[in-house]
Amino acid sequence: MAPEEYEKYLTLAYRAEPFPKPRNDFGMVKSLPVPEMEKLMLTNIRAGDEELRQLASRRANAVKDALLQSGKVETERVFIAEPKDLTPEKKDKVKDSRVEFKIA
């Protein structure tokens, strides 16, 4: 997509989303500037456990691929473990959103 097409496709995606949108005096969806459409879309994103699990899996595979592409780690030494729970264990002074690496 060319940068000049961004607003066109953002508008199409914005209109397709099922969340309530500002309307004009005639009840039609109001045209909004790009920053307002982006803000409303980001505010209304809902991700459940399955979406979070898929995101975690894609991120883990990207890290694994990067490690293996370096050529400094043997394939048999890198594996991905399924998380027991999507909610990270609480640790002092550590943000909830994180990744854990274990070296054996």
Structure tokens at 49: 């456990």
Residue 94 covered by a domain: no
Q: What is the pTM of this model?
A: 0.54
10 and 34 in a single domain? The answer is yes
The whole-angstrom separation of Cα 89 and Cα 15 is: 38
Domain count, the chain: 2
Is residue 45 pLDDT above 70, yes or no?
yes
Tens-digit pLDDT profile for residues 66-98: 989 988 888 888 888 877 666 666 777 776 666
Q: 55 is written with which tokens? A: 């995101």
Containing domain of residue 11, as a range?
Answer: 3-43
On whether both 16 and 36 belong to a single domain, the answer is: yes
Q: Is 101 inside a domain boundary?
A: no
Judgement on whether residues 53 and 36 belong to the same structural domain of the protein = no
Q: What is the model's pLDDT at position 86?
A: 67
In-domain check, residue 103: no
HSE of 98, CA atoms in CB hemisphere, 13 A: 10
- Based on the domain organization, do 60 and 38 belong to the same domain? no
Output DSSP code: residue 96. S
Per-residue model confidence (pLDDT) at position 98: 63
Clarify whether residues 34 and 14 are in a common domain. yes
Examine residue 79 and state whether it is found in any structural domain, yes or no. no
- Are both 39 and 59 inside the same structural domain? no
Task: Tell whether 70 is covered by a domain.
Answer: yes
